[in-house]
Chain A
Amino acid sequence: MIKQVSVFMENRVGRLYHIAKTLGEKKINIRALSLADTSDFGILRLIVDEPDKAIEILKAEKYTVSPTNVLAIEVEDHPGGLSEILGTFDKNAINIEYMYALPKRTGGKAVMIFRFDDAEIEKKLSMAGVKPLKDEDIKTI
C-alpha cells in the first residue's frame, strides 16, 4: 500500500493553484494527481514524495485532508497492457473504486494508481501474482 493524500476542494477558481503553490513552496514534489469533481466540490488525490509532511502543511492551511491507502501497480507500456491487468482483476472479482496514471515510466513500464474497496485486496493480488510498488519505489521513480 502507498499513502495517497486526499484533499476536499470547492469547485472554485484558484483552489488547485493555491494547493499546488502551497506544496511547492514547502518543497513537496507531486508525483501524480487526479481530480474527481461534481459541480460544487471536488476531491483532489495526490501522490507526493512526503505524504505525512504534505498532510501537515495542508492542515495548517485549514484544508480538510486525509490519508488514503492506494496501490501502485506496474503496467506493461504497450497496446493491451492495461487490459491485461484489468483482466486479472476481473477474473478475481476485484472491484476498482478509481484509478489514475503516474506520468513517469519505470524500466519500460507505466505505473497506475488504484483504489480498491476491498479489505482482502493485498491477499487477492498476491494470489493473482500482482506485486504492487512500495512507498520507496515511488520516491525513486
Chain B
Amino acid sequence: MNKQFPYPIWNAEMETMDLETRKTLQLYRLKELVWYVYDNVPFYKKKFDEMGVKPSEIKSLDDILSLPFTLKTDLRDNYPYAMFAVPMDDIIRIHASSGTTGKPTVVGYTQEDIDTWSEVMARSLMSGGTTRKSIVQNAYGYGLFTGGLGVHYGTELIGASVIPVSGGNTARQILLLQDFGSDVMTCTPSYSLFLAEEIEKAGIDASSLKLRYGIFGAEPWTEAMRGEIQKRLPIKAINIYGLSEIIGPGVANECQCQNGLHIYDDHFFPEIINPETGEHVKDGEMGELVITTLTKKGIPLIRYRTRDLTRILPGVCPCGRTHPRIDRIMGRSDDMLIIRGVNVFPSQIEEVLVKIEEVAPHYQLIVEREHNLDVLTVMVEVNDKIFSDEIKGLEAIEKKVEHDIHQMIGISVVVKLVEPRAVARSEGKAKRVIDNRKLQ
C-alpha cells in the first residue's frame, strides 16, 4: 500500500507497474494479438492483406500505426457473429449495445474475457472506494446492457457484497439504501441526481444513509454535475468509463484523486487521434480515443474508433497507479465542427457556458457561410439565472460569452440570446448543432 496515499489497490503488480515493463508487456501482447486476429478473424485477414500489413512486421508499439482502424459500422456489417475469433463453443456470454439506429452491436465473451472483465471491474470498484467490506447497490440495468453484470462480477471478485437491484424502482432503491446499509452505489450520474431528489422529497436526510461512494458512468456528465451530486448526496462521485465493444464498464476509472480516469492499458491500449486525419494528436491534446484490445479473445478489436473525445492527462497520479489517465469524455467526435479550419467541439462551448452560471443554459450552434467565411452563432437560452431586467446586463453576458469562447477555441463567434424553448428539442434532447453551410 502506498504510504502517502493509503487507499487499497486491487492489483498492485499490474496497476503500479513501471512504465518500461508495461511497454514490454504491451508489445508482447500486441504481437500475439495481430497474429491472433490474422489467423482467426477473416475480416482482419482481408484488411491486413489489402493494406499489405504482415503480422510479423509489428516489431514496436509504434508499428500499431500501420494497422487499420476498426469502426462501429464494421461490427454492424458483420452482424451478428462474423467478427468473433472463436467458435461459439467457446463463447459463454453475449451482450449487445442498444444501437440508436438499426441493429444492435453484438459482443461475445469467452471465459477468459469474463475473467479479464471481472479483473478490470475489481480494479475500478476498488479505486472508487469499494473494499471487501462494502455493500454495493448495483442500479445499472441487468440484461443485454453490460453495466449491470460488469459491476456484479467485479464486486464478487473483490469479495464485497453486491445487491443486484438493477435500474429503476426508486422507492425500492431508497428502501435498500436505508435498510441494507449500502455504502457504494453504481448507476448513471443522471439517475443519482434523480435519486437525490426523491430522497429529499421523501423527507429523508441523505447524510443519515451509509452511502459513501457512487461509481457513475454509461453517459457523459460534467464537473458541474459531479459538484451537484456530491452536494446533495454526501458521497464521493467517481467517474467510470467503458463501452461494450471493448468489454463494457471498466475500461478506465477514476481513483480517489478524482482527477482523470486511469485506463487499464495492459488490456486496452489507448491512442488519441485527430478524427479528421486519423493521425495522433500532440501529447495532451484533445482527440478521439482509439482502443486496441490487447487480451480479448471472443471479439478482439484492432484500433477501435470509440468516437469518444478525450485527452491523455500529463503527469503522475499521486495514487501510485501508473496507468495513464484520460480526461472525462468531452463529447463525440461525430459532433466535431471545423470552423475556419479550427476544430470545435460543442463540449468546449458548453464548458464556457457552465462557468457563466453554475447551471448550463440550453444552447445551439448554428454554422453559416457568409462571403466564403464560416460564421458560428451560439444561441443561448436565457434562463432565470442569467436574466437581467436591464439591456446592459444582458449585453454584458453576450459579450462575456463571446469573449470566453474566443479565449477557449481561438475563433470569434456571435452570441445571440434567445427565449427558453427556442432551441428545438427532440425527445427531450436538444439538437446542439445546425450546420447550414452549403459546400460545393
Contacts and interface: CB of A to CB of B under 8 A. Distances in A.
Interface of A: 4, 6, 8-10, 15, 36-38, 40-41, 43, 45, 62-64, 66, 68, 97-98, 115
B394 A64 contact: no
Given A6-B389, A64-B382, A68-B389, A41 B420 contact: no
Contacts of B384: 64, 66
Given A8-B417, A10-B418, A38 B395 contact: yes
Nearest to A97: B390
Nearest to A42: B391
B43 interface: no
B391 A45 contact: no
Contact of B389 (A38, A63, A66): A66
6 contacts: A4-B389, A8-B394, A43-B390, A62-B420, A62-B421, A64-B383
Interface residues of B, number: 16
Contact of B382 (A8, A38, A97): A8
> What is the predominant secondary structure among interface residues of chain B facing chain A?
loop
Nearest to B383: A64
A11 to B, nearest CB: 10
B5 interface: no
A115 B390 CA distance: 10
3 tightest A-B contacts by CB?
A6-B389, A68-B389, A62-B421
A4 B390 CA distance: 13
Contacts of B389: 4, 6, 43, 45, 66, 68, 115
A68 B384 CA distance: 13
Given A64-B382, A66-B384, A8 B419 contact: yes
Given A38-B395, A64-B382, A64-B384, 16 more contacts: A6-B387, A6-B389, A8-B394, A8-B417, A15-B419, A37-B391, A40-B417, A41-B394, A41-B418, A43-B389, A43-B390, A62-B420, A64-B419, A64-B420, A68-B389, A98-B390
A103 to B, nearest CB: 21
B65 interface: no
Nearest to B390: A97
Contacts of A36: 390-391
Interface string B408-422: 000000001111111
Contacts of B422: 10
A123 B82 CA distance: 82
A40 B418 CA distance: 8
Given A8-B387, A68-B389, A63 B394 contact: no
A38 B387 CA distance: 15
A130 B420 CA distance: 39
